[in-house]
């Protein structure tokens, strides 16, 4: 009998069934860079072979079942005008000039650009920019080399987040309170051409990983980040987006999730996206966030697969091997109460995470996290 692969394990988990053992999800842009052997980050993010090699090395070294291949949050948005700076240790958005002083003109100019998207979607293909082209090539390489053994979670946030990440996330959140007409303008842009653009990019990403999954980001559903009214506004748009993505990718492709949030409104996410079975799992950040894993297991564990249990900023990053072992064992015990459970951190790992702590996850999982 052939051995169960990480991909089989992950897909079984996403169906809400129990595989041979609990799958492990881990990924890290910067750990992958470290394992690629590429001297500078600037070279790395432009080199598809290096990006692929780094991610493959991390996946194999730490025996993960689920991973993702990324360089940063803005790579798809450069074609829309997002600007990044690549420092020695980080790729990040440039601080916009409207940081201290809100400027309505920014939205007027972006609205004009969005109208051009409607006229010519091809002009705004992210692959026209070098870094996005590199990441698409990296996905193809990784999918070919390990895609039959490991699930590659790839996705793009919804159209509202597309707009916010292009203009400036914190500035957009501030400015909707300051300019009374802005919500209407944003809704029009997001429901129109920006929706089509984001769905199109989502489809291209899913295609690049052989239709194994689409990962939907829900990090905006954070109680400290958005008040209930804005959360409802975002959910309406994301629901529309998710349904359109589903139409494009087909009904069989599982939808994974990502909730990198310190104060997640998991109940809201479940009610809006989990209960209607629009997504196949709830991945979130616990332990370490304000939503304890115990509570999530109690509320949703019997209803939808959960991925959590590794505190990537706590024991995994700063603790000892014994502390990591205790954390993983505790999470496995909780995970047994779920329809299915995957071990995973809240977000991407630090490149400084001790290697022995990372190796410990699979070791403890193999020992204690078997279903049969």
* Residue 356 binding another protein, by CB under 8 A: no
Find the part of the chain contacting another protein (CB under 8 A) among 130-138, 223-231, 233-241, 328-336.
223-231
Beta strands in 131-243 (DSSP E): 151-152, 214-217
17, 37, 83, 89: which one contacts another protein (CB under 8 A)?
89
17, 121, 123, 227: which one contacts another protein (CB under 8 A)?
227
152, 313, 334, 343: which one contacts another protein (CB under 8 A)?
313
Among residues 151, 157, 357, 166, the alpha carbon closest in space to that of 261 is found at 157
Q: Is 95 or 109 the residue whose CB approaches another protein more closely?
A: 95
* Residue 318 binding another protein, by CB under 8 A: yes
To another protein, the closest distance from the beta carbon of 127 in angstroms equals: 26
Contact 248, 197 (CB under 8 A): no
Contact 94, 168 (CB under 8 A): no
Listed as own residue / partner, the contacts of 266-270 with beta carbons closer than 8 Å and 24 or more positions apart are 266/291, 266/296, 266/299, 266/300, 267/299, 268/221, 268/231, 268/235, 269/218, 269/221, 270/299, 270/300, 270/303, 270/304
Q: Is 169 or 239 the residue whose CB approaches another protein more closely?
A: 169
Q: Is 101 or 105 the residue whose CB approaches another protein more closely?
A: 101
Rounded CA separation 153/311 (Å): 20
To another protein, the closest distance from the beta carbon of 225 in angstroms equals: 5
Q: ∠ at Cα 46 (258, 35), nearest 5°?
A: 65
49, 81, 83, 90: which one contacts another protein (CB under 8 A)?
90
Q: Is 3 or 88 the residue whose CB approaches another protein more closely?
A: 88
Contact 304, 270 (CB under 8 A): yes
Rounded CA separation 220/265 (Å): 9
Contact 368, 21 (CB under 8 A): no
Beta bridge partners of 282: 306
To another protein, the closest distance from the beta carbon of 356 in angstroms equals: 16
* Residue 121 binding another protein, by CB under 8 A: no
42, 95, 275, 302: which one contacts another protein (CB under 8 A)?
95
Rounded CA separation 28/313 (Å): 13
* Residue 87 binding another protein, by CB under 8 A: yes
225, 286, 342, 358: which one contacts another protein (CB under 8 A)?
225
Q: ∠ at Cα 10 (7, 13), nearest 5°?
A: 150
Q: How many residues bind another protein (CB under 8 A)?
A: 39
211, 233, 262, 268: which one contacts another protein (CB under 8 A)?
262
Q: Which residues in this chain contact another protein in the complex, by CB under 8 A?
A: 30, 85, 87, 89-90, 92-95, 99-102, 170, 173-174, 176-178, 223-227, 230, 262, 288, 311, 313-315, 317-319, 349-353
């Amino acid at each position: 009998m052939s051995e169960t692969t990480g991909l089989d394990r992950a897909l079984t988990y996403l169906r809400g069934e129990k595989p041979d053992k609990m799958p492990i999800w881990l990924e890290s842009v910067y750990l992958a860079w470290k394992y690629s052997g590429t001297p500078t980050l600037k070279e790395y993010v432009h080199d598809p072979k290096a990006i692929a090699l780094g991610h493959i090395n991390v996946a194999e070294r730490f025996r993960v079942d689920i991973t993702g291949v990324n360089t940063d949050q803005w790579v798809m948005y450069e074609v829309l005008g997002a600007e990044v700076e690549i420092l020695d240790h980080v790729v990040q958005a440039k601080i916009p000039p409207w940081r201290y002083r809100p400027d309505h003109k920014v939205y007027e100019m972006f609205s004009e650009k969005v109208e051009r998207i409607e006229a010519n979607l091809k002009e705004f293909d992210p692959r026209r920019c070098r870094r996005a082209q590199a990441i698409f090539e990296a996905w193809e390489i990784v999918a070919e080399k390990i895609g039959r053994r490991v699930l590659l979670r790839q996705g793009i946030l919804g159209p509202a987040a597309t707009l916010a990440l292009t203009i400036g996330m914190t500035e957009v959140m501030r400015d909707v309170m300051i300019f009374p007409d802005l919500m209407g303008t944003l809704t029009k842009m997001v429901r129109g051409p920006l929706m089509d653009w984001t769905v199109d990019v989502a489809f291209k990403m899913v295609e690049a990983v052989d239709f194994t999954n689409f990962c939907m980001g829900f990090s905006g559903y954070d109680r400290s980040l958005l008040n209930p009214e804005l959360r409802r506004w975002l959910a309406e748009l994301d629901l529309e987006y998710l349904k359109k993505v589903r139409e494009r990718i087909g009904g069989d492709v599982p939808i994974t999730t990502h909730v990198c949030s310190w104060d997640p409104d998991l109940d809201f996410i479940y009610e809006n996206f989990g209960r209607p079975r629009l997504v196949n799992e709830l991945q979130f950040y616990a332990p370490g966030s304000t939503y304890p894993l115990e509570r999530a297991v109690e509320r949703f564990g019997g209803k939808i697969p959960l991925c959590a249990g590794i505190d990537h900023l706590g024991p995994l990053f700063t603790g000892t091997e014994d502390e990591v072992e205790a954390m993983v064992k505790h999470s496995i015990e909780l995970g047994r109460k779920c329809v299915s459970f995957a071990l995973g951190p809240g977000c991407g790992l630090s490149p400084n995470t001790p290697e022995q702590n990372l190796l410990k996850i699979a070791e403890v999982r193999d020992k204690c996290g078997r279903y049969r």
